[in-house]
Amino acid sequence: MMLRIVVQEADFDAGAELAHLNLPGVGGVGSFIGVVRDSGGLKALHLEHYPGMTEKAVKKIAEQAAARWPLLGCTVIHRVGRLAPEQKIVFVGAASAHREAALQAAAFLIDWLKTSAPFWKREEFVSGESAWVAARAADEAAAQNWV
């Protein structure tokens, strides 16, 4: 399986990433792109991570996806640093011979990234205030649905 894991401050080219996943034998590519939601008073989102552990944790999640579905390729790109509303945060892509595996694996990847990779978000508001985002029980439940 082609496995591509990137943690970076820079933006990514989603079209190029999808093209990377168009590998020999692939019949479908499932993907998800997370974006900073423009919720009125938000000025920016700051993403922090645990260098070293992040890459290992994401690799483990991708390997679990590959153990579960017959994937030919898997890409996870997660941005860190300061991101303005409407900017892209995360890309997950899964390529397989058939659509069901590709779509399910992409959903699994993003659900597990939210609960099992060491990233933290802090919101910076237009008002000048700032607050760490609290983990959501709904995200944990979504990940547990795959168990």
Residue position matching structure tokens 């019949």: 27
Does 50 sit near other proteins (CB under 8 A)? yes
Q: How far, in Å, CA of 87 to CA of 117, rounded? A: 20
Does 59 sit near other proteins (CB under 8 A)? no
Q: How far is the CB of 142 from other proteins (least distance, A)?
A: 10
Sheet holding 71-79, edge to edge: 2-8, 71-79, 88-96, 28-35
Does 107 sit near other proteins (CB under 8 A)? no
Q: Which is nearer to other proteins, 43 or 59 (CB)?
A: 59
> Pseudo-torsion of CA 13, 101, 36, 76, nearest 10°?
-50
> Near other proteins by CB under 8 A, which window of 17-25, 66-74, 97-105, 106-114?
106-114
With CB under 8 A as the contact rule, the residue among 16, 52, 127, 138 that binds other proteins is: 52
Count of residues of this chain found to bind other proteins when the rule CB under 8 A is applied: 28
Q: How far is the CB of 25 from other proteins (least distance, A)?
A: 29
> What is the phi-psi region of residue 118: left when phi exceeds 0, alpha when psi lies from -120 to 50, beta otherwise?
beta
What contacts 128, CB < 8 A, 6 or more positions away?
none
> Near other proteins by CB under 8 A, which window of 9-17, 22-30, 41-49, 93-101?
41-49
Interaction residues for other proteins, span 5-24 (CB under 8 A): none
Q: How far is the CB of 88 from other proteins (least distance, A)?
A: 12
Residue 108 CB neighbours (<10 A): 23
